A and B are shown apart, each in its own frame.
Chain A
Amino acid sequence: MAATVQIVEKNGAGGTTTDKTSGTIRFKNADNSTVDLNNPMVKPVSGTDYSFEKWLRLNVTGGTYSQITNIGAYSDGANGLGTGIGLFAKAVATYATPAEATATTGYTSFFTYVTGSRLSLGAGPFTSTGEKGDHLVMIATVDNTAAGGLTPTETLTIGWDEI
């Protein structure tokens, strides 16, 4: 039997977790995991609108396994969000309350991470239950060149090896 695994989003000072394994992540101008139309990102007259950080992490809730290794995150390599909209990522070990980003310094475009060149979230080995590996911290950006409205869908993948 395999490990039972979630991808959780963490919010607030205490890092309250929400299971997003089969859910949707909404980048917005607030620190919460709710998928709604409140606090939307806004196309600026000039410059860039930055979202609040999204803190995601692998969480093992049960199952039977020996160890997890080689956790990583990646994209399909193509920015499908449209002109002027970006998605950036970095790996962080220790949780901090999600804040509104003011720059992409320290981040890398998430679309540069692909199957053959993933963002490593920890080599492991990891055992037992609980959150494993580094946090995947992501921000979205909207430039003044973006079109308005809801953006198309993008998918991020978090993968790992398991025995």
Chain B
Amino acid sequence: MSQPFEITPLPGDGGGRVAFNGATRLTVLEADARLFRRRAVKVSTTKPPAETVLPLLNELAGQLVADLSIDGETLSARLAHIAQQIKPTTSTQVEWAVAELNGVRVYFDGQDVVVTQRDLQP
């Protein structure tokens, strides 16, 4: 996820606001427009890496105990295969800046902009 959006009033008395994530800005000028963050956390039933790797390590350990003469190249390849089963942890938090004016919404995730009247969710 990019940096969180900070929403602050625009300088002056026009009632406008700006959402800024340190790199890009989404600005509303009208005082009657809405500007807010739409956030979400994604929780999964994913197996933790240890649960994926443990059976493979157990299998390998059993084979090593049964035959310690395994050559280095084969052992290295087996360990590399196990390491490849570990999936990188991805971000589970999502944040958009949303501007709404006269029923039209602008959704901005820091990179992409969607303009719609739909009520989109991350």
CB distance B41 to A21 under 8 Å?
A: yes
Chain B residues, CB < 8 A from A35: 48, 51
CB distance A24 to B4 under 8 Å?
A: no
Q: Which of B4, B48, B98 contacts A2 (CB 8 A)?
A: B4
Q: Mark B1-36, 1 if CB is under 8 A from A, else 0.
A: 000111100000000000000000000000000011
Chain A residues, CB < 8 A from B4: 1-2
Chain A residues, CB < 8 A from B92: 21-22
Q: Is B68 an interface residue (CB 8 A)?
A: no
CB distance A159 to B45 under 8 Å?
A: no
Q: Mark B83-118, 1 if CB is under 8 A from A, else 0.
A: 000000100110100100000000000000000001
Smallest CB gap from A20: residue in B: B43
Chain B residues, CB < 8 A from A150: 47
Tell me the bound Cα distance from A159 to B7 in angstroms.
19
Q: How many residues of A contact B (CB 8 A)?
A: 34
Chain B residues, CB < 8 A from A21: 41, 43, 92-93
Q: Is A74 an interface residue (CB 8 A)?
A: yes
Tell me the bound Cα distance from A5 to B119 in angstroms.
22
CB distance A154 to B45 under 8 Å?
A: yes
Interface size class of B (residues with CB under 8 A): 20 to 34
Distance in Å: Cβ of A73 to nearest Cβ of chain B: 10
Q: Is B121 an interface residue (CB 8 A)?
A: yes
Chain A residues, CB < 8 A from B5: 2
Tell me the bound Cα distance from A35 to B50 in angstroms.
10
Smallest CB gap from A74: residue in B: B121
Chain A stretch 1-15: residues in CB contact (< 8 A) with chain B: 1-2, 5-7
Distance in Å: Cβ of B9 to nearest Cβ of chain A: 12
Q: Which residues of A contact B (CB under 8 A)?
A: 1-2, 5-7, 20-27, 35, 37, 56, 72, 74, 115-116, 118, 150-151, 153-163
By Cβ-Cβ distance, the 3 closest A-B pairs, closest first, are A159-B40, A115-B121, A2-B4
